[in-house]
Amino acid sequence: MILLDGKGTAATLRMGLAVEVQNLSRQIARTPGLAVVLVGNDPASQVYVRAKEKAALEAGLNSMVYRLEIETSQKELEALIDKLNADDNVDGILLQLPLPGHLDSQACLERILPEKDVDGFHPINMGRLALGLPGLRPCTPSGSLRLLAHYGLNPAGKKAVVVGRSNIVGKPLAMMLAAPTINATVTVCHSGTKDLGAECREADFLFLALGKPRFIKKDMIKEGAVVIDIGINRTTSGLCGDCDFEDVKDKVSAITPVPGGIGPMTIAELLFSTIQACKWRNQL
């Protein structure tokens, strides 16, 4: 069984990105900039933002973090987004989700310029993904596929099952897997799937993003399958994925740990997206 080390892989990738940032900075006579906006005091969001800030600084990016009070109004948040859109030193804008309940997340995401939308959530970027056109891609699906590529695991021609259909992970991941560049045969499962176990047992590559701790057991997995566990669940015994790692580890050929799997790859992918956004904005 291969343990797909996202933490180590992301660290290696960041070293290469730091060199690329140096070269790009010389070309454009400034440091590529990433702005992260955090509203409120959600503990998980604060941890994620600190990790993103640390990774951006280590890669040599100009990291700008805007921490707003939970009482921030829709108008105030949109005004900040407009300011960042107009700032030529900002190449990428990331709005940390979830937002407090009184704010309209979709309206805020759509307000970010598509060319600065490093999370890839703007309808234009999602539409470009669906059409197979170049654009900024959601970081978690991209990071998952980059981790597979790092280990030489190729889903081309294989059966890939995605459990979860969120706009953040499941839907874009399914489109990426089905794209001609990867050529997997894709099935998307969700809460309405009648026999989830039967679908999962067909998977050569099983991607889990359903948000249920240790839900997937070994009797739901094909012998020798590759499991990419994207779920991060907080339980009384600590963080765990959607897959019961201890139960399945002797049956799979490769699996991501939680934590230390897809989380670090998502952050690394954010840096890739910021660099790509900078290149496109400067026509490089």
Amino acid letter, residue 154: N
How far is the C-alpha of 98 from the C-alpha of 173, rounded, in Å?
20
φ and ψ at 67, to 5 degrees?
-100, 115
- Rounded CA gap, 130 and 174, in Å? 10
Using only C-alpha atoms, the chain has a radius of gyration, in whole angstroms, of 19
The DSSP symbol for 243 reads B
60 is in an annotated binding site: no
Catalytic residues: 52, 96, 119
Beta-carbon count within 10 A of 25 CB: 16
CA separation for the pair 41, 105 (Å, rounded): 16
The reply to whether 165 sits in an annotated binding site is: yes
Q: What is the DSSP letter of 154?
A: -
Q: Where are the beta strands (DSSP E) in the chain?
A: 2-3, 33-39, 62-68, 92-95, 159-163, 185-189, 205-208, 226-229, 233-235, 238-240, 254-255
192 carries a ligand binding annotation: no
Any known ligand binding at 50?
no
Could you list the residues known to form a binding site for NADP(+), using ranges: 164-166, 232
